[in-house]
């Protein structure tokens, strides 16, 4: 057993905060249109130039174990924001640091940390509600603006991404890959997205992106739990014989999962298993649709399939498959499929007649999966360093654009947070507990820090600039040195990004506030 170091109370929080400060400062330099790039040395000594907050955060590892725990806590919050919304890492870090700084300043005045924690979290929820009231739906023009801003002001990339989403629609999929032609372009193919990601992290083969990426995998589809690994031998044998990765879309018994994971770790098998969507008949129909697209068959108890009769003919395939922890994207060869076309037409007719809300949702989900396309942004660059930086920007922009389509947009440049601060700071807190009120105040007073940092990163003095701001959604365009309505200027953020940044930063700060003991692995000095 590894010997542990135990640190208590103020000392534990101080050392955690030191790590948080280091990470937040490194990430904060990238914030805004005038944010700076960060050069990261990889494990081989090669430089990686980026403005991507997640990439910067993931690269930070400190020698002090307790400080590094602080880094890890903030890293997890920023990664959660990026996972849920595709962007907002930097905003999360800046907000979290501002809240934690205020907590440390007021720590002597907080009698009840539990109530202070509750105040911070309730204030964060109230802020989100206020910001939500100002959000707007995304039109084609705004889509281009969101994509360009998220690509660090690159209008060319922004147009590629907005055109891609216009091509496949809001239910379609946009991904990214390296170009082999030497120039950037968009390729649209047939594909679908599952709102289920990989079930085991041991399947991950792209460690940088934390994704499972396969070419031409074999696919097993089953509408019931597989409880014996022997029942998958036909698939294992085909995968090994054909030297192709295997994807299992089915519920699996824990023993089956263990068997597969052991074989993955021993390099005997390349496999990804995914929980299917839906329940009962709806799950069966979604799997049948997948079978139609993959050319496979569903192993189904409804159809009376016996495992003794199941063979390689049940296996489907696709051109490529990418699984994250939250979703799976499948791309198919763009060939005409009469059965698929007939099903799309049938679902369309059913939608016209259906009055049941749940039934309509199910039909719309099936239709989007069958009719949706996949647009792949192919990116190129003159050097490996430039390519990595460009891919980071494109990836951020793709996810931010999707978030904007899903939940709308708000005023960017930190203005939505500033507006929320101006409104909620005047509100009367419905509590008599002084610690709760202090927690509430700490959260609210942290909100302007984002816009302060954006302006300061541009080389101007934020206090002087903010003095000239008056009116709802009015902010400062740091790139062109002008005031104006942020929607009119095209400086906008996806609401989903802002929402998750606020909630996750509050969660981190509350965790640090309530910490009184840290137990870390003791380092042996040589």
Per-residue pLDDT at 471 = 82
Helices 9-28 & 89-106, crossing angle to 10 degrees?
150
SS3 48: strand
How many alpha carbons lie under 13 Å from residue 277 in its C-beta half-sphere?
Answer: 19
Per-residue pLDDT at 396 = 81
Q: For residues 459-486, give the mean pLDDT.
A: 90
More confident residue, 256 or 368: 256
Kindly report, residue by residue over 382-391, the tens digit of the pLDDT.
888 888 888 8
Give ranges for CATH 1.10.560.10 in the chain.
Answer: 4-134+409-521
Q: Following CA atoms 72, 76, 82, 83 in sequence, which dihedral angle do they give, to the nearest 10 degrees?
A: 140
**By the 8 A CB rule, do 182 and 379 touch?**
no
Q: What are the backbone angles phi and psi of residue 158, rounded to the nearest 5°?
A: -55, -40
Kindly report, residue by residue over 23-79, the tens digit of the pLDDT.
999 999 999 888 888 999 987 888 888 888 888 888 899 989 999 999 998 888 787
Both tokens of 58, joined, read 């993931």
**By the 8 A CB rule, do 455 and 465 touch?**
yes
Give ranges for CATH 3.50.7.10 in the chain.
Answer: 185-335
206 vs 71: CA distance, rounded Å: 23
Kindly report, residue by residue over 418-468, the tens digit of the pLDDT.
999 999 988 888 889 999 999 999 999 999 999 999 999 999 999 889 987
* pLDDT at residue 526 is higher than 60: no
CATH architecture, range 185-335:
3-Layer(bba) Sandwich (3.50)
Task: Name the CATH superfamily for 4-134+409-521.
Answer: GroEL-like equatorial domain (1.10.560.10)
* pLDDT at residue 247 is higher than 70: yes
Give ranges for CATH 3.30.260.10 in the chain.
Answer: 137-172+337-371+380-407
369 vs 9: CA distance, rounded Å: 52
Q: Following CA atoms 334, 399, 51, 100 in sequence, which dihedral angle do they give, to the nearest 10 degrees?
A: -160
If you classify domain 137-172+337-371+380-407 with CATH, what class do you get?
alpha beta
399 vs 33: CA distance, rounded Å: 18
Helices 280-294 & 357-371, crossing angle to 10 degrees?
10
Counting runs of H as helices and runs of E as strands, what totals does the chain give?
A: 19, 19
Share of the chain above pLDDT 70, in %: 97
Kindly report, residue by residue over 116-155, the tens digit of the pLDDT.
999 999 999 999 999 999 999 987 678 888 888 888 778 8
Placement of tokens 């709760």 in the chain: 436
């Amino acid at each position: 057993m590894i010997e542990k170091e135990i640190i208590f109370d103020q000392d534990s929080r101080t050392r955690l905060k030191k790590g948080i400060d280091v990470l937040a400062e490194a990430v904060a330099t990238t914030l805004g249109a005038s944010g700076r790039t960060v050069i990261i040395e990889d494990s081989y000594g090669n430089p990686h130039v980026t403005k991507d907050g997640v990439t910067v955060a993931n690269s930070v590892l400190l020698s002090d174990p307790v400080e590094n725990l602080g880094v890890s806590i903030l890293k997890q919050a920023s990664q959660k924001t990026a996972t849920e919304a595709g962007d907002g890492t930097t905003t999360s870090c800046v907000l979290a640091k501002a809240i934690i700084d205020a907590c440390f300043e007021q720590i002597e005045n907080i009698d009840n940390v539990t109530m202070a924690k509750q105040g911070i979290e309730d204030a964060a929820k109230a802020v989100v509600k206020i910001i939500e009231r100002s959000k707007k739906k995304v039109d084609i023009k705004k889509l281009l603006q969101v994509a360009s801003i998220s690509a660090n002001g690159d209008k060319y990339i922004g147009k590629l991404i907005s055109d891609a989403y216009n091509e496949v629609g809001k239910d379609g999929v946009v991904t990214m890959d390296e170009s082999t032609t030497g120039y950037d372009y968009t390729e649209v193919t047939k594909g679908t997205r599952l709102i289920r990601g990989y079930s085991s992290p041991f399947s991950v083969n792209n460690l940088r992106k934390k994704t499972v990426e396969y070419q031409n995998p074999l696919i097993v589809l089953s509408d019931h739990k597989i409880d014996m690994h022997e029942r998958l031998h036909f698939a294992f044998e085909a995968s090994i014989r054909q030297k192709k990765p295997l994807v299992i879309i089915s519920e699996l018994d824990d023993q089956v999962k263990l068997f597969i994971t052991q074989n993955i770790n021993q390099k005997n098998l390349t496999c990804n298993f995914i929980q299917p969507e839906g329940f009962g008949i709806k799950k069966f129909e979604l799997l049948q649709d997948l079978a139609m697209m993959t050319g496979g068959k569903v192993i189904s108890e409804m159809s009376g399939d016996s495992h003794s009769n199941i063979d390689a003919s049940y296996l489907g395939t696709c051109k490529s498959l990418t699984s994250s922890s939250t979703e799976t994207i499948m791309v198919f060869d763009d060939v005409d499929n009469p059965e698929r076309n007939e099903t799309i037409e049938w679902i369309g007719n059913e939608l016209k007649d259906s009055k049941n809300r749940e039934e309509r949702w199910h039909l719309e989900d099936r239709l989007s999966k069958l009719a949706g396309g996949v647009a792949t942004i192919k990116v190129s660059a003159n050097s490996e360093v430039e390519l990595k930086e460009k891919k980071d920007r494109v990836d951020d922009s793709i996810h931010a654009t999707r978030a904007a389509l899903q939940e709308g947009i708000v005023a960017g440049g930190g203005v939505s947070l500033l507006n929320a601060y101006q409104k909620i700071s005047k509100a009367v807190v419905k509590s008599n507990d002084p610690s709760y009120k202090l927690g509430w105040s700490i959260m609210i007073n942290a909100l302007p820090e984002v816009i302060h940092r954006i302006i300061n990163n541009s080389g101007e003095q934020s206090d002087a600039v903010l003095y000239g701001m008056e009116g709802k959604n009015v902010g400062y365009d740091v790139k062109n040195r002008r005031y104006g309505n942020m929607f009119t200027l095209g400086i906008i953020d996806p609401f989903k990004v802002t929402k998750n940044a606020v909630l996750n930063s509050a969660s981190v700060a509350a965790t640090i506030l309530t910490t009184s003991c840290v137990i870390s692995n003791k380092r042996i000095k040589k």
